Every structure is written in C-alpha cells, then in structure tokens.
C-alpha cells in the first residue's frame, strides 16, 4: 500500500486512446511521471510549443456539463474524470499529455483512467505530501439550488445528495475517499443525462461523442444504456467522482468532510476556488520568525508568529523552556471560560483529551520549527500513537506540555510528548508531523 505521508507520481508513462465526449474527436492521452511539487498539469502536444495548463481553479473557463480549463487561447475540456482518477488513486504529480483538446470519454466513468494509472504504477517521492486541514466550516449556496459545505474531519469524506428534475432519481451516499474505496466503489460510476436535456445539449454543440456506450440516459423513471446499472446508486456515485475531480482544482489535498447537495461543475469549481483562497490565507498567517536557541521563552504573541492557530484552537499560552535542540516545555492555563466547557460535561467540566493531544502537537511543532532548516515552514499533524489519558484536567489547572523530538527524516518528524498537572502526567502520546514551506 502506498505511504500516504509522501507525495506520489507515476512509475512510467501509460497511454489511453478513444473518442472525446463533447467534441467527438479522436484523442490519445498519455499519463507521465512528474517531479515533486509539480502537481497535475495538462499538455497539448498537438499545438505549437506544446503548452501546459495547470489543473487549477484559476484556469476554469466553462462549466456546462463538464469542466473546461484555459490558458489564453489554449483549452482543455472535460478534465474532471482524469483528475478525479489521479487524485482518487493517490497521485500528486503527473503530466497529462493529449493530442486534442479533450480526454477520451471511455465508458463514461473514471475506470479507464484508473486502469491506465495501474498500468503505469504509482511510486512514492522524496517529499512529504502537503495536506491542508479544514479547521472551520466553509459553506456556500448557489442560485441553482446547489449547496456545498466542508467541515473539519481527520479524513477526506464526501456525503452527497443527487436530485434530478422533479425529485427524480434522488440518491444519497456518504463515503471516505481512499485509493481502495475510490477504485472499487467510485471510479466505475458512469456519467448520466436526463432525456429531456439531450436535444438542448446537442443544439449547443455538446455531447457530439455521446452514446449509450459512454453514458446512462434517464427517461422518466427508467434508464437506457448499453449495460445495466453498475450500482443501485450509480448516479450519486458519479456525482462524488465529479466532486473529487473538481475540488482537486483547489491545488491542495485536504482533510475535511464535504457535504454536497445537488452538486454540479459550476458549484464544485467555485468551491475549489474558495478553498484555494482559504489555503493561501492560512499559509500567509505563518511568516518566518527567529525562534531563540538555548534557554529562552516565548510569550503568546511570539507563539502566534510561529503557529497558524488562533483562538479558540491555540492551545499554548507560552513556551517557558527550551532544553538543547530537542526538548521544550509549554504552558496552557485551563480556565472555566474555555469554549469547550459549555458542551463538554458542563455539570462536571473536564478538558477534552483530544485537545490535550492538540496542545502536545502544537508544542512539538514549535520545537521542530525552531531548527534552522525549518524556519518559516508550517507543521502539519499527521498521526498520534500510544495515546494515553491518565487523569482528568479541570478548570483552574495549569497544563505543562513537554515535547521531545525523537526523529527527523527529511521533512517528516516524530516526537514524544506529555501533559502534566502539578507534576503528575495526565496524558501522553507519540506524534508525527510533516513540514513544508507555505
């Protein structure tokens, strides 16, 4: 299984040929390896100078029944399926070469692209994967009825509701998205169209390559296609497939729970654009700061220069001691005014254990960012092992958070940490982090 901590690319080139959905042209698509931090880029090898187009929301130019990217006069249509397959299968960096302006539609699903990726193989690269964590809800409603909300989650999940005209073919599905789940439960879902929409789309010069071999047509309450439905809820699964591909245009992987009601390419790509702005703002909050060496302290203002966290998620009031290069101690004063006490056992208030782990992670991050090579980077919490909660923490307690770096390999670091009250250990954990430059 691929290591999710590191970026991945393709082991070799792999090619897929076929007919495009909207233009109806013959096209050959080749997926190629790319270096770290390259991201996903399309390349039109049929044009002079073989120009590239970034798979990014800033390049979105048209979203009717598909997502189109453009750079000047150079366009690439219907990009969502191939991007969805690459992201869903865990590929971070790749070049998507085409000798026409639209990928082959295949059978209308992402399965052909998944097979192309598997033929190429996937390899880990020597750089940590940059995964943003959604820290506060992001919500957007659209005039056509689409609603997209993304809430904090330690995994990447999508809960989607598909609703057709007059409520037809209403379907709902909620799933975590991993390469295994993507390949087996999402990639095979085919594109679909309601019968009454076919002629208007054809009148606009779209779906020239469409047929019952690469789409499911819904007429009244029946379906028409070359083969039976692959899933009872195939339509909402395809919507999830599209959401994955479109939201990937934000330019970053992220942890969060996407709640999508009647999503479409317009709403998906607009949310991707908003996500990109959100991540850029989050990254801009962290600026290079000189963290003192030797015996030193940091007050809360200096802590906030190092960490991107702010109230109520900042769990460190100050750093009171650095011991050499690998150990430090932080302090958090736990007061009854903490917002979590309103809902966490209000009749018997205790500090949630997960927030103690977050406090340990923040102190350990400061310790790792203190190293010269890491100044100005962002530390992302990757995992917590051997977590133990030994005693409750109450309002009025002063939490001392001790952290010690035990290993740093490239931009991945591991630390042991513990929280103490009155000299007694109340919680402890082994933590792992990824560091990268904003």
At 131 the pLDDT is 83
What band does 286 get if pLDDT is binned at 50, 70 and 90? very low
Q: What is the mean pLDDT of residues 144-159?
A: 94
344 found inside a domain = yes
Please give the Cα distance from 416 to 409 (Å, whole number).
Answer: 15
Q: What burial class does residue 198 get, using C-beta atoms within 10 Å of its C-beta: 0-12 exposed, 13-18 middle, 19+ buried?
A: middle
Query: What share of residues in the chain are helix, strand, coil (percent, to 5)?
Result: 25, 35, 40
8 A C-beta contact, residue 235 and residue 192 = yes
Joined tokens for residue 359: 């406090």
- Give residue 206's pLDDT band: very low, low, confident or very high (50, 70, 90): low
The single residue listed with the structure tokens 């406090």 is 359
Note the pTM of the prediction, 2 decimals. Answer: 0.68
Residues 251 and 381 grouped into a single domain: no
CA angle 45/51/56 to nearest 5° reads 115
- Contact between residue 382 and residue 304 where contact means Cβ atoms under 8 Å apart: no
In a domain, 287, yes or no: no
Residue 110: pLDDT band by 50, 70, 90 thresholds?
A: very high
The answer, yes or no, to whether residue 179 has pLDDT greater than 70, is yes
Model confidence at 165, pLDDT cuts 50, 70, 90, reads confident
Specify if 290 maps to a domain.
no
What is the rounded average pLDDT of the residues 64-92? Answer: 92
- List, in sequence order, every beta strand (DSSP E) within 196-336: 216-219, 222-224, 253-261, 318-323, 327-333
Q: Could you tell me if 122 and 6 are in contact, meaning their C-beta atoms sit under 8 angstroms apart?
A: no
Mark which of 282, 317, 350 sits at the end of a domain: 282
Q: Which of 4-13, 115-124, 169-178 has the lowest mean pLDDT?
A: 4-13
Q: Note whether 212 and 316 are same-domain residues.
A: no
Task: Choose the weakest-confidence range: 4-18, 71-85, 269-283.
Answer: 269-283
Q: How many angstroms separate the CA atoms of 177 and 183, rounded?
A: 10
Q: What's phi and psi for 356, nearest 5 deg?
A: -65, -40
Q: State CA 307 to chain mean position distance.
A: 21
- Locus of tokens 């393709």: 10
**DSSP per residue, 361-404:** HHHHHHHHHTSGGGTT-EEEEEEEEEEEE-S---TT-EEEEEEE
Same domain as 246, residue 111: yes
What rounded mean pLDDT belongs to the chain?
A: 87
Higher pLDDT residue, 43 or 200?
43
The answer to whether residues 94 and 238 belong to one domain is: yes
| Last residue in a domain, options 282, 309, 335 | 282
**254 and 387 together in one domain:** no
pLDDT tens digit string along 307-322?
A: 878 888 899 998 888 8
pLDDT at 284 over 80: no
Asked which of 229, 252, 282 is the last residue of a domain, the reply is: 282
Would you place residue 22 in the very low, low, confident or very high pLDDT band (cuts 50, 70, 90)?
Answer: low
Q: Which residues make beta-bridge pairs with 414? A: 407, 432
Band of pLDDT at residue 357, cut at 50, 70 and 90: very high
- Does residue 1 belong to any structural domain of this protein? no
In a domain, 139, yes or no: yes
Residue with tokens 């073989």: 50
Considering the domain architecture, whether residues 225 and 314 belong to the same structural domain is answered as: no
Q: What's the alpha-carbon Rg for the chain, to the nearest Å?
A: 24
Q: Is pLDDT at 271 greater than 80 in this prediction? A: yes
Let me know whether 327 and 255 are in one domain.
Answer: no
Question: Of the ranges 160-174, 206-220, 354-368, 393-407, which one carries the lowest mean pLDDT score?
Answer: 206-220
Residue 45 pLDDT more than 50? yes
Residue 239 in this model has a pLDDT that exceeds 70: yes
Residue 293 located in a structural domain = no
Residue 335's CB: how many other CB atoms inside 10 A?
Answer: 10
Considering the domain architecture, whether residues 278 and 304 belong to the same structural domain is answered as no
Query: CB-based contacts of 48: which residues, under 8 Å, 6+ apart?
Result: none
Residue among 354, 357, 292, 356 at smallest CA distance from 328: 292
Strand partners, 415: 405, 431
Same-domain pairing of 16 and 147: yes
Angle at the Cα of 396 (from 152 to 417), degrees rounded to 5? Answer: 55
365: containing domain = 300-436
- 263 and 343 share a domain? no
pLDDT of residue 173: 97
Is the pLDDT at 218 greater than 80, yes or no?
A: yes
* pLDDT attached to residue 375: 65
Residue 318 in tokens: 């100050």
288 confidence band (pLDDT: 50, 70, 90): very low
CB 110 within 8 A of CB 241: yes
pLDDT digits (tens, 9 = 90+) for 361-384: 889 888 887 766 666 667 677 888
Closest CA to 216 of 143, 269, 164: 164
Active-site residue (options: 265, 278, 309, 348): 265
Mean pLDDT of 27-31: 96
- The reported pLDDT for the residue numbered 434 is 78
68 touches 53 (CB < 8 A):
no
Q: Is the pLDDT of residue 396 over 80?
A: yes
Q: Is residue 112 part of a domain?
A: yes
**13 & 107 share domain:** yes
CA atoms within 13 A on the CB side of 246: 32
CATH of the domain at 352: 3.10.129.10
Q: 305 and 351 share a domain?
A: yes
Answer yes or no: is 126 within a domain. Answer: yes
Say yes or no to pLDDT of 242 above 80: yes
Q: What per-residue confidence (pLDDT) applies to 294?
A: 45
Residues 50-73: what's their mean pLDDT? 89
Q: Is the pLDDT of residue 1 over 80?
A: no
Peptide bond into 312 cis (omega under 30): yes
Q: How confident is the model at residue 114 (pLDDT cuts 50, 70, 90)?
A: very high
Give yes or no for residue 162 having a pLDDT over 90.
yes
344 is catalytic: yes
Q: Over the stretch 185-201, which tens digit does the pLDDT of each residue have?
A: 999 999 988 888 777 76
Residue 103 maps to which CATH number? Answer: 3.30.230.20
- Sheet containing 412-421: give its strands across: 318-323, 327-333, 398-409, 412-421, 424-436, 378-389
Q: What is the pLDDT of residue 201?
A: 67
Q: How many domains does the chain have?
A: 2
More confident residue, 385 or 66: 385
Structure tokens at 98: 């085409």
């Amino acid at each position: 299984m691929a290591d999710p901590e590191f970026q991945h690319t393709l082991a070799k080139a792999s090619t897929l040929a076929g007919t495009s959905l909207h233009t109806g042209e013959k096209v050959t698509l080749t997926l190629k390896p790319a270096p770290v931090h390259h991201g996903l880029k399309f390349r039109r090898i049929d044009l002079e100078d073989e120009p590239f187009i970034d798979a990014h929301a800033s390049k979105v130019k048209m979203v009717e029944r598909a997502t189109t990217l453009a750079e000047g006069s150079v366009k690439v249509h219907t990009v969502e399926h191939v991007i969805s397959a690459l992201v869903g299968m865990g590929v971070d960096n790749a070049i998507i070469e085409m000798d026409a302006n639209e990928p082959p539609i295949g059978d209308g699903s992402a399965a052909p692209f998944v097979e192309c990726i598997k033929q190429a193989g996937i390899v880990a690269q020597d750089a940590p994967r940059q995964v943003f964590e959604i820290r506060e809800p992001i919500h957007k409603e659209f005039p056509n009825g689409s609603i997209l909300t993304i809430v904090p989650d330690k995994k990447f999940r999508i809960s989607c509701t598909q609703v057709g005209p007059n409520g037809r073919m209403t379907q709902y599905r909620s799933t975590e998205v991993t390469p295994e789940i993507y390949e087996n439960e999402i990639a095979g879902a085919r594109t679909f169209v309601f019968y009454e929409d076919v002629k208007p789309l054809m009148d606009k010069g779209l779906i020239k390559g469409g047929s019952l071999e690469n789409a499911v047509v819904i007429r009244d309450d029946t379906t028409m296609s070359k083969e039976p439905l692959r899933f009872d809820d195939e339509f909402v699964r395809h919507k999830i497939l599209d959401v994955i591909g479109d939201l990937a245009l934000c330019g970053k992987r992220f942890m969060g729970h996407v709640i999508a009601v009647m999503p479409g390419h317009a709403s998906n790509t607009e949310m991707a654009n908003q996500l990109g702005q959100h991540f850029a703002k989050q990254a801009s909050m962290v600026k290079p700061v000189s963290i003192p060496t030797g015996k030193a302290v940091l007050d809360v203002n200096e802590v906030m220069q190092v960490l991107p966290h702010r109230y109520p998620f900042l769990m460190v009031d100050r750093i009171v001691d650095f011991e050499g290069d690998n150990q430090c101690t932080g302090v958090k004063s736990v007061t009854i005014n903490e917002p979590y006490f309103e809902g966490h056992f209000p009749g018997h208030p205790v500090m949630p254990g997960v927030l103690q782990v977050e406090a340990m992670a923040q102190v350990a991050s400061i310790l790792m960012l203190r190293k010269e090579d890491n100044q100005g980077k962002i530390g992302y919490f990757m995992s917590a092992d051997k977590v133990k909660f030994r005693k409750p923490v109450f309002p009025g307690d002063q939490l001392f958070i001790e952290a010690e770096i035990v290993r740093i390999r490239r931009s991945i670091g591991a630390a042991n940490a513990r929280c103490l009250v009155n000299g007694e250990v109340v919680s402890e954990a082994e933590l792992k982090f990824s560091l990268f430059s904003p």
